[in-house]
Structure formats: C-alpha cells, structure tokens
Amino acid sequence: MAGRAIAVESLPETSSAERVVADVLAIGASVAVAEHVRASVPLWFHTFMLTPGIYTPGIARDHGYRLAVLGADRFTGRSVLDVGAFDGFYSFLAEARGARRVVAVDNEQYVAWVRARFGVTLEGGVGFRAIAGLLGSRVEYRRIDALDAGELGERFDVVLCFGILHRVTDPIALLQALADVLAPGGEIVLETYGSRLAADARRSRFTSRAMCTRAMTSSTGAPRRRVCGD
C-alpha cells in the first residue's frame, strides 16, 4: 500500500536574537560534551548556550522581551511552576536565579507537532533531560497537561505561562487551573497573543482567528461553516 506523501518543512535557522537570550543562562560544558549534547537531540525548541560559541539550534524565536520580568527578584527563594516547558529554558533560568523549587510540566503534544511539521521523531522531554544533566539541575519534570496542574498537589509562588493561553480551546479553564495552584500572594507571568481589535476591549474577553474558528467548529463535529470576515 502506498503511503500518503507528507510535506514537511526544513528546520528554521536560530536567530542571533535567541543567542542573546541564551547567553543569560551560560552552561559551561566542555566543547566535547557540548557538541555531543547538541547532536543528541534531533530538534531543539529553545536555544541554550552550552559553552561559549556552541548553541543548541532552537527554533523558538523572538522571546527576548520576556527577560524583563525574569530577574532574580522574581525567583529568589520562591517556588516556580513552568507550564508548557518544552526544553525548559525558563525552568532552568528560574533555578539559576534563585528559585528554591521549580516544577516543569508539558503534555508533550509537541512530539506530534514536530513529526507532522518537520518530519522529525522526537522523544518527549529529551531536550529537557539533556540540559538538566549538564546543569545538575534539581528541576522536577512532569509530563502532564497544564489544565491538570492541580494533580501536582502543591502551590507555587510564580507560574510561568508563555505562549500557551492562545493555543488552548478553553483559556478560562487554563487560567482557573493555574490560579488554583497559586500560593497566597502568588503571580502568573503570562505571555500570549494580543488583539488589534480595540473595539473588543469594550465588551469581549478575546477574539478568535478565523482558521481556528473553523478548527474548533470542526472539532465539535458541527458541519462546515464559512467564516465571514477575519
């Protein structure tokens, strides 16, 4: 039986801006170890500076502005939950900047995404474990969905939620799940998609992109709808 041809993309180049971000978490491995670790993971999401001049080729980009809220004053002595951690850059950064406990969670849906988009077979959590090993990190990694953060059975002073809220079908449920694991006085550091529709600010809580309206309608089993205007 002939297999269906699947179009895959080539991996994008790491931007120089991401190397600047990576430099705030210098790992300091030997060149030999750095090269081995870099090659041991078939796809990196985050860019890590393994040793001066050797970076993981992360495909994430344009997130340097997050650093403005990730100083040591945010983490020192606090407990941190990083949801949607992927390779764990922000988890390790929190640890390096003084967090007393860090838990990283990811549902590892990216495994299917990476296979579909780039044709790469990736073991869930492999990048995270590689970096954790280099750092001798105590960050705890759990494969769970952010919506199930309550299963961790603990509360956190800081929850990092980067690039997730705009991707979930129920953003209110996600915010509620994260609010439920906040310690008194705790805070969620959130980065998500904004909206250009200023008029929405008067009444709406969020706007939906047309293609996603189609996707969500489809996922409910409803008949196809035509989206009028985007």
Partner 1 sequence: MYARDDFVYWGSPPEGLRRLGRIAGLDELEVVDQLEIDGHPRILALLRAAG
Write out the residues near partner 1 by the rule CB under 8 A: 12, 45, 59-63, 65-66, 68-69, 113, 163, 165-169, 171-172, 175-176, 178-179, 182, 184-198, 200-202, 204-209, 211-212, 215-216
DSSP state of 109: T
Among candidates 70, 59, 65, which has minimal Cα distance to 97? Answer: 70
Q: How far is the CB of 142 from partner 1 (least distance, A)?
A: 22
Q: Which two tokens stand for residue 41?
A: 């993971």
Q: How far is the CB of 41 from partner 1 (least distance, A)?
A: 16
Q: Residue 17: helix, strand or coil by DSSP?
A: helix
Between 51 and 56, name the residue whose CB sits nearer to partner 1.
Answer: 56
Among candidates 191, 173, 155, which has minimal Cα distance to 70? Answer: 191
Among candidates 24, 114, 113, 116, which has minimal Cα distance to 65? Answer: 24
Between 29 and 146, name the residue whose CB sits nearer to partner 1.
Answer: 146
With a CB cutoff of 8 Å and minimum separation 6, the contacts of 154 are: 79, 103, 181
Q: How far is the CB of 167 from partner 1 (least distance, A)?
A: 6
Q: How far is the CB of 27 from partner 1 (least distance, A)?
A: 22
Between 35 and 217, name the residue whose CB sits nearer to partner 1.
Answer: 217
- For residue 114, give the H/E element and its range: helix 110-118
Q: How far is the CB of 1 from partner 1 (least distance, A)?
A: 30
